[in-house]
């Protein structure tokens, strides 16, 4: 593998370039009008304007990107996360053009991209799934009937959904009725597919996922778990590994289920099996992400592996760099913080120009930043502008180190959640490690109440 | 005549009112999409819609007049 096209932008494009440089692989970047001044465009060996700023006219232009890849004679395409990373049609078109797609087989992407279909696959593979409907719901009457069988509260979800979009909690029939049509409409406009289904809502649950990796020789390993329960708007904000408050016995069972899930679809390359875990450490399959995750550095920190390097090697037809599960271990504790350009109180986006970006003076931290000072954060893309990854010998020390970082780090020009992190790291619920996906919302509510007292 | 201005740069996701419609204060008249988030835009005061200056899919900047009221 000599030359790779990166079909993405921002921090992840930059991240992929880094590993390619290390392996002496040339990189081809693509960018939209809005992104021409971002660092990844300069850092790639070659960079091409792919179109105007809206994603439909740039980063989602399947045929234009494939055409460029052919013209530039690249050996492979790395899709990053989001955009075309879970687009089976894109993977197939790349392969048809004789270009390696750095990810799983197109059929796997297709199978796992359909939430209803992936639930059925997991049931067959004896992986526990959240109780819910086994097929799509066409009418509100059918939905109401299914919901009363499952029992409220329930989650109404788009089968093709993802990224926290296309799902809503319904506590009763009235709410279900209110959201049924709008969820279908939204699913259609975001994902081009309006199939919806229901799952039981699991109270006080955690989101714990397992990183898995497979090669084309049938080797499959797991790289341990990440707890991603600190969320806002159903999107992750802090991720950590190992997961606190999670007994070893349950952990082992979770890894076994993740491996079974991966084997059920002959998984190749990097993937993540997401589970919802209840208060008794009982877990249920949620979905499988057939790509590199935003939070992959957490796993890199505790295992010491470069996951992008693994991806490139597996795509090039090599075996997994480490294929014996017993040879893989974790060290210390890692935390990742996603820095969002948004109002920390309302979570509304805050586009603008970054006038200052300072990460403080704490040594030995990892920063993955998509922007530099004077770069513009535009309204066209995700509000995540960078990530801070902290690794220490244990959880307490990692939290302590993170507090030091966020006490001095400064981003100016756009609003961010840096100060929110600084405050939240003091929350007893987070510090104790016993927390669910509602931890951030509940803590913010508490803060507001204290202010109004 | 009162103007409803966009508080943020983004793409118009839905327009929920029609010209001539009476809207109440706080009613969501339009939804913007910015940074992958849907942002409801509410009428600041009650009034009758005179003109709608944005269509679904249009990109608007902060301060652009979206809707005018009689």
Residue at a domain's end among A200, A223, A248:
A200
> Minimal CA–CA distance to A417: which of A392, A383, A442?
A383
Q: Which of A141, A276, A264 is nearest to A212 (CA)?
A: A264
**CATH number reported for the structural domain that contains residue A390 in this entry:** 3.30.470.20
> 3-state DSSP: chain A helix, strand, coil percent, rounded to 5?
35, 30, 35
Mean pLDDT over each residue of chain A, to the nearest integer = 96
Q: Most B CBs within 10 Å: which of A185, A349, A350, A353, as the mutation test of the B interface? A: A349
Contacts (Cβ under 8 Å, ≥6 apart) of A186: A158, A165, A166
- Cα of A293 to nearest chain B Cα, Å: 18
Residue B16 distance to chain A (closest CA, Å): 13
Could you tell me how many CB contacts below 8 A there are between chain A and chain B?
Answer: 36
Length of chain A: 453
Residue A34 confidence (pLDDT) = 97
Q: What is the DSSP string of A338-378?
A: EEEBB-TTT--B--EE--EEE--S-SS-EEEES--TT-EE-
Coil, helix or strand for A390? strand
Residues 153-172 (A) with a CB less than 8 A from some CB of B: 163, 165
Query: What pLDDT was estimated at residue A3?
Result: 98
Domain end, chosen from A178, A200, A222, is at A200
Give me the domain span that covers residue A295: 206-452
Contact B39 A349 (CB under 8 A): yes
Q: Does B57 touch chain A (CB under 8 A)?
A: no
Both A238 and A180 in one domain: the answer is: no
Specify whether A61 is located in the same domain as A29: yes
Residue A192 is predicted with a pLDDT of 84
User: Are A213 and A286 within one domain?
Assistant: yes
Does residue A150 sit in the same domain as residue A243?
A: no
Interchain CB distance below 8 Å, B36 and A383: yes
Tell me, yes or no, whether A45 and A181 share the same domain. Answer: no
Residues A31-58 pLDDT 10s = 999 999 999 999 999 999 999 999 999 9
Q: Under an 8 A CB cutoff, do B9 and A382 touch?
A: no
Q: C-alpha angle B41/B44/B49, rounded to 5°?
A: 80
Distance, CA of A225 to CA of A267 (rounded, Å): 17
Which residues 6+ apart lie within 8 Å of A29 measured at CB?
A6, A13, A17, A40, A41, A43, A44, A46, A47, A48
**CATH number of the domain bearing residue A168:** 3.30.1490.20
Q: Are A368 and A307 a contacting pair, CB within 8 Å?
A: no
User: Are A97 and A167 part of one and the same domain?
Assistant: no
Sign of the torsion angle spanned by Cα atoms A66, A72, A73, A78: negative
Which residue in A163, A341, A348 is closest to B39 by CB distance? A348
* Total of domains in chain A: 3
- Chain A hits for B10, CB-CB cut-off 8 Å, are 349, 379
Residue A125 lies inside a defined structural domain of this protein: no
Domains of chain B: 2-69 (2.40.50.100)
List active site positions of A: 291
CB-based contact, A381 to chain B, within 8 Å:
yes
Q: Are residues A187 and A309 in the same domain?
A: no
Whether A117 is in a domain gets the answer: no
Does any domain span residue A7?
A: yes
Chain B residues close to A342, C-beta within 8 Å = 35
Whether A247 and A135 share a structural domain = no
> Could you tell me if A189 and A272 lie in one domain?
no
Q: Any idea what the CATH number is for the domain that residue A34 is in?
A: 3.40.50.20
pTM above 0.90, yes or no: yes
Q: Would an 8 Å CB–CB cutoff place B15 in contact with chain A?
A: no
- If you write DSSP's letter for every residue of A40-100 in order, what string do you get? HHHHSSEEEEEE-SSGGGTTT-HHHHHHHHHHTT-SEEE--SSTTTT-HHHHHHHHHTT-E
pLDDT of residue A163: 66
Phi, psi angles (nearest 5°) of residue A352:
160, -175
Of A200, A223, A239, the last residue of a domain is A200
In a domain, A266, yes or no: yes
Tell whether B59 is within 8 A of chain A (Cβ): yes
The answer to whether residue A155 sits within a structural domain is yes
Say yes or no: A279 and A424 in one domain.
yes
For residues A4 and A75, the answer to whether their CB atoms sit within 8 Å is yes
Tell whether B16 lies on the interface with A, counting CB pairs under 8 A: no
How do the pLDDT tens digits run along chain A, 453 residues long?
999 999 999 999 999 999 999 999 999 999 999 999 999 999 999 999 999 999 999 999 999 999 999 999 999 999 999 999 999 999 999 999 999 999 999 999 999 999 999 999 999 999 999 999 989 999 999 999 999 999 999 999 999 887 677 889 999 999 999 999 999 988 888 888 899 999 999 988 999 999 999 999 999 999 999 999 999 988 999 999 999 999 999 999 999 999 999 999 999 999 999 999 999 999 999 999 999 999 999 999 999 999 999 999 999 999 999 999 999 999 999 999 999 999 998 889 999 999 999 999 999 999 999 999 999 999 999 999 999 999 999 999 999 999 999 999 999 999 999 999 999 999 999 999 999 999 999 999 999 998 887
Q: Name which of B35, B40, B60 to mutate to probe chain A: the one with the most chain A Cβ atoms within 10 A of its Cβ.
A: B35
Residues of B whose CB is below 8 A from A338: none
Q: How far apart are CA A349 and CA B9, in angstroms?
A: 10
Does the residue A120 lie in any domain?
Answer: no
In contact, A235 and A337? CB cutoff 8 Å: no
Contacts of A351 (CB under 8 A, 6+ apart): A341, A376, A377, A378, A379, A414, B8, B9, B34, B35
Which pLDDT score, from 0 to 100, does residue A173 have? 95
Task: List the one residue out of A86, A97, A83, A26 whose CA is nearest residue A51.
Answer: A83
Judged by CB atoms closer than 8 Å, whether chains meet at B36 and A381 is answered as: yes
- 């199939």: which residue's tokens? A195
In a domain, A121, yes or no: no
Please report the DSSP string for A400-451 in residue order.
Answer: HHHHHHHHH-EEESS-BSHHHHHHHTT-HHHHHS---TTHHHHHHHHHHHHH
Same domain, A84 and A194: no
Chain A residue with minimum CA distance to B32: A379
Residue B66's SS3 state is strand
Q: Do B34 and A165 touch (CB under 8 A)?
A: no
pLDDT for the residue numbered B1: 65
User: A83: nearest CA in chain B?
Assistant: B36
Q: Do A419 and A289 share a domain, yes or no?
A: yes
Residue of B nearest to A347 (CA): B37
Q: Does some domain include residue A115?
A: no
Do residue A381 and residue B39 have CB atoms under 8 angstroms apart?
A: no
Distance from CA of A379 to the nearest CA of B (A): 5
């Amino acid at each position: 593998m000599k030359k790779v096209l990166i079909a993405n932008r921002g921090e992840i494009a930059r991240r992929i370039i880094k590993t390619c440089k290390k392996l002496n692989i040339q990189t081809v970047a693509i960018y939209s009008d809005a992104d021409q001044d971002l660092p990844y465009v300069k850092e790639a060996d070659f960079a091409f304007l792919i179109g105007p700023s809206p994603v439909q006219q740039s980063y989602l232009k399947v045929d234009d990107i494939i055409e460029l890849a052919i013209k530039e004679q690249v050996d492979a395409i790395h899709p990053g996360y989001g955009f075309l990373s879970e687009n089976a049609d894109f993977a197939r078109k790349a392969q048809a053009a004789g270009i390696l797609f750095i990810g799983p087989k197109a059929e796997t992407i297709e199978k796992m991209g359909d939430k209803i279909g992936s639930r059925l696959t997991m049931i067959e593979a004896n992986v526990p799934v959240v109780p819910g409907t086994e097929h799509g719901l066409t009418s509100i009457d059918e939905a109401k009937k299914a919901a009363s069988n499952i029992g409220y509260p329930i989650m109404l979800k788009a089968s093709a959904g993802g990224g926290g979009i296309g799902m809503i909690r319904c506590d009763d029939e009235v709410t279900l009725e209110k959201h049924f049509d709008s969820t279908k409409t939204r699913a259609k406009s975001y994902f081009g597919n309006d199939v919806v289904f229901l799952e039981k809502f699991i109270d006080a649950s955690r989101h714990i996922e397992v990183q898995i990796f497979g090669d084309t020789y049938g080797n499959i390993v797991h790289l341990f778990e990440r707890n991603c329960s600190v969320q806002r708007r159903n999107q992750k904000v802090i991720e950590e590994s190992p997961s606190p408050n999670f007994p070893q016995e349950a952990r082992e069972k979770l890894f076994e289920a993740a491996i079974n899930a991966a084997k059920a679809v002959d998984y190749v390359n990097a993937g993540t099996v997401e589970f919802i875990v209840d208060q008794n450490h009982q877990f249920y399959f949620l979905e499988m992400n057939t790509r590199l995750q935003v939070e992959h550095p957490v796993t890199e920190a505790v295992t010491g592996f470069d996951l992008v390097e693994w991806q490139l090697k597996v795509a090039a037809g090599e075996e997994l760099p480490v294929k014996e599960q017993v040879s893989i271990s974790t060290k210390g504790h890692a935390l990742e913080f996603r820095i969002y350009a948004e109002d920390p109180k309302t979570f509304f986006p805050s586009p603008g120009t970054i006038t200052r970006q300072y990460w403080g003076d704490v040594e030995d931290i990892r920063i993955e930043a998509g922007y530099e000072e004077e770069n513009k954060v535009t309204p066209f893309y995700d509000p995540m502008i960078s990530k801070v990854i902290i690794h220490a010998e244990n959880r307490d020390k990692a939290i302590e180190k993170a507090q030091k970082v966020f006490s001095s780090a400064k981003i100016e020009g756009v609003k961010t959640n840096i100060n929110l992190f600084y405050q939240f790291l003091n929350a007893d619920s987070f510090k104790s490690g016993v927390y669910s996906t509602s931890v951030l919302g509940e803590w913010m509510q508490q803060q507001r109440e204290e202010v109004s007292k | 005549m009162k103007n409803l201005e966009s508080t943020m740069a983004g793409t118009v996701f839905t327009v929920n009112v029609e010209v001539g419609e009476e809207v109440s204060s706080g009613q969501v008249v339009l939804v913007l999409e910015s940074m992958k988030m849907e942002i409801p835009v509410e009428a600041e005061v009650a009034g009758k819609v005179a003109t709608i200056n944005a269509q679904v899919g249009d990109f608007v900047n902060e301060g652009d007049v979206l809707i005018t009221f009689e």
